[in-house]
Each structure stands twice: as C-alpha cells, then as structure tokens.
C-alpha cells in the first residue's frame, strides 16, 4: 500500500508549532518537547511548507509569530489541549504492568470511600473531580472508565447501577439560636419559615447547589434560592466550619452522621418531604476493565 505523504500532515508538527509559539524560541521549545533544536526547526519548516505561508519571523533569539501563525494557533489550540488532556489518562509506562482505572466522582465520595482503602488496590487509580454532565461525557468518550454519580444522561452505551441513597438534611451548629425556625416548622408556617431561613447565616459550596435548589423548590415551590454567606471548597469543609461556628447548611446525611451522633451538629429539619439522591455506578458497555470496576464497586458498597 502506498501513501501520498504530500497530502498528509504530521500531528507532531502542530505540537511543535504550539511549543515554539508559546515558548518564543527554538531552544526553549526543544527543551519543553524533549527534542533536538534541529528537529524542532525541521518540523516548523515542514509545517510552513504544508500550509503554504510563513509562520514565524526568525531573529537570533526569538521566533516571532506572523499574523497567519496567530490565526493558526487560535484554530488548533482547543483541539491540542483536548488531546493533551486525553493523553494524561492513557499515558502508562512500558515497564508498568499495573492497569490504570480513571474514575470520576465528587471529592467527598473520594475522601469518604477511597482514602481509607486506596493503598490496598492492585491497580492504579486516577481520580477526576468535576461536574457530573462533563464526567459522563468523558465516560462516553472513553476518557473515564467509571463515574460515581447521582445524575444521569440518556445514552444507550452507558449503564447505570444504583447502589446508595443520600438524604439531604438541614443542620445547624448546636449553639445557633434556632428557636424561631423550630416554632415555624412545628406550626407549619412555611412562608414565615422561608423568610427566617433566608435571614440565617448559611454555609455552602458549588457542589451543593443542585440539591439545594431541589430542597428549596420541594419545600417552598420557589426556584429562588438563599445566598450563602460563606462559600467554601466542598461539603466536608461546610461540616468542619459549621462545627466551630454558628450557622446552618444543607448537607447529605452520610457525610454529617458522625457529627450528629457526637452532637457536633444538630438536625434542624428534614423538609416537608424527605429529599433523596440516588448514586449510581456509571460504566460503558463492554468495558475492558470490568474486573477492576467490580473491585471498586465492592469497595464503595462495603465501606
């Protein structure tokens, strides 16, 4: 079989172009690429010949991008970053016989279920934290092998296995004066309760926004949400802050149960109707790492 190389482009030329563009000279670019300076220069020359115009003005110390280079960089940078992002998940050492499992989850799930046991696994783990829709998208694209998620997207190639339910609770620091709130709850004075809740000191984080909206709408039939006074990194941070400071917060029961049992937090309200989220193991059909995925599923379920 014969190939017409004049009609094909080497993707390494783009990678070299990006390095020269960002580093500003051949020496720094070659160091960044772990390549030789003549090799970098050759890639740039080949790319210029392929695209048909000059990409850099060469001086003794600098490679100054032309207007064409600026346009080319804007066109390719997003695709190159995505390739580099993908590469980090699939990069393995030739001498490393251990398999690697990439898992998407929230940081609280990692801290609660994985940190105590991760050293016992006989395969490598890459933990990825982010928004659930994006992680499910990356699962579908093959970047992730497993996602632990309370959310789902319809996709015939994805399998969702429910394994755990969390209940969302309204909790407070035990020293917080909640007598008015408790009276409104007991008297089912929901409008007054909502106003009083909005007047409280709230702790929140970006990853509680989803279930907070559900809790608020389920109880008050309104989409307008309270604004947290203190926006902290995650739910475990919320709990730690609330143990030492007055205020209230919405948190999942499995994360605050120990603090409630030790009277470090106080249960204020479960809502008119309990709000539950169901967590699923999301995987792709016919995964090549099924054995490793099953080990992770058993680890989480047994924790």
Model pLDDT for residues 179-191, shown as the tens digit of each residue:
999 999 999 999 9
In this predicted model, which residue has the larger pLDDT, 292 or 120?
292
Q: Is 159 exposed, middle or buried (0-12, 13-18, 19+ CB in 10 A)?
A: middle
Are the beta carbons of 149 and 138 closer than 8 angstroms? Answer: no
The yes-or-no answer to whether 100-163+278-302 and 165-277 have a common fold is yes
Round to whole Å and give the CA distance between 24 and 21. 6
Strand partners, 64: 57
* Domain topology for 100-163+278-302: D-Maltodextrin-Binding Protein; domain 2 (3.40.190)
Greatest CA separation found in the chain?
Answer: 83
Residue 90 has pLDDT above 70, yes or no: no
Are the beta carbons of 106 and 112 closer than 8 angstroms? Answer: no
SS3 at position 102: strand
Residue 124 backbone phi and psi in degrees, to 5: -85, 150
Question: May I ask the CATH class of domain 5-90?
Answer: mainly alpha
Q: Rg of the chain over CA atoms, in angstroms? A: 27
Nearest Cα to Cα of residue 172 among 273, 263, 246, 261: 246
Are the beta carbons of 251 and 225 closer than 8 angstroms? Answer: no
Q: What is the pLDDT of residues 207-257, one digit of tens each?
A: 888 889 999 999 999 877 778 899 988 899 999 999 999 999 999 999 999
Any idea which architecture 165-277 has in CATH?
Answer: 3-Layer(aba) Sandwich (3.40)
Instruction: Indicate the pLDDT class of residue 280, thresholds 50, 70 and 90.
Output: very high
188: left (phi over 0), alpha (psi -120 to 50) or beta: left
Round to whole Å and give the CA distance between 280 and 260. 26
Supply the pTM of this predicted model: 0.64
Domain ranges of the chain: 5-90, 100-163+278-302, 165-277
Q: What is the pLDDT of residues 34-63, one digit of tens each?
A: 778 888 888 999 899 888 889 999 988 899
Q: What separation in angstroms does the CA of 289 have from each of 25, 187, 255?
A: 43, 54, 29
């Amino acid at each position: 079989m014969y190939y017409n190389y004049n009609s094909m482009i080497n993707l390494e030329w783009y990678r070299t172009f990006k390095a020269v563009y960002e580093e500003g000279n051949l020496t720094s670019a070659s160091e960044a690429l772990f390549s030789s300076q003549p090799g970098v220069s050759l890639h740039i020359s080949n790319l210029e010949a392929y695209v048909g115009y000059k990409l850099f003005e060469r001086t003794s110390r600098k490679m100054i991008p032309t207007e064409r280079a600026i346009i080319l960089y804007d066109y390719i940078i997003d695709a190159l970053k995505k390739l580099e992002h993908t590469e980090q998940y699939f990069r393995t050492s030739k001498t490393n016989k251990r398999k690697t499992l990439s898992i998407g989850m929230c940081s609280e799930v990692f801290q609660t279920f994985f940190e105590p046991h991760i050293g016992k696994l006989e395969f490598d783990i890459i933990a990825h934290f982010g928004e659930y829709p994006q992680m499910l998208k990356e699962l579908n694209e093959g970047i992730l092998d497993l996602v632990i998620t309370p959310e789902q997207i319809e996709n015939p190639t994805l399998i969702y296995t429910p394994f755990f339910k969390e209940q969302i609770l309204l909790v407070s620091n035990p020293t917080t004066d909640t007598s008015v709130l408790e009276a409104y709850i007991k008297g089912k004075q929901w409008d007054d309760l909502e106003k009083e809740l909005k007047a409280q000191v709230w702790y929140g984080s970006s990853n509680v926004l989803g279930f907070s909206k559900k809790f608020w709408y389920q109880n008050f039939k309104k989409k307008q949400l309270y604004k947290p006074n203190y926006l902290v990194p995650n739910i475990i941070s919320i709990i730690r802050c609330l143990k030492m400071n007055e205020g209230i917060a919405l948190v999942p029961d499995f994360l605050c149960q120990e603090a409630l049992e030790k009277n470090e937090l106080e249960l204020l309200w479960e809502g008119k109707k309990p709000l539950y989220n169901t967590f699923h193991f999301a995987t792709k059909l016919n995964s090549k790492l099924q054995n490793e995925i099953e080990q992770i599923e058993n680890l989480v379920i047994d924790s």
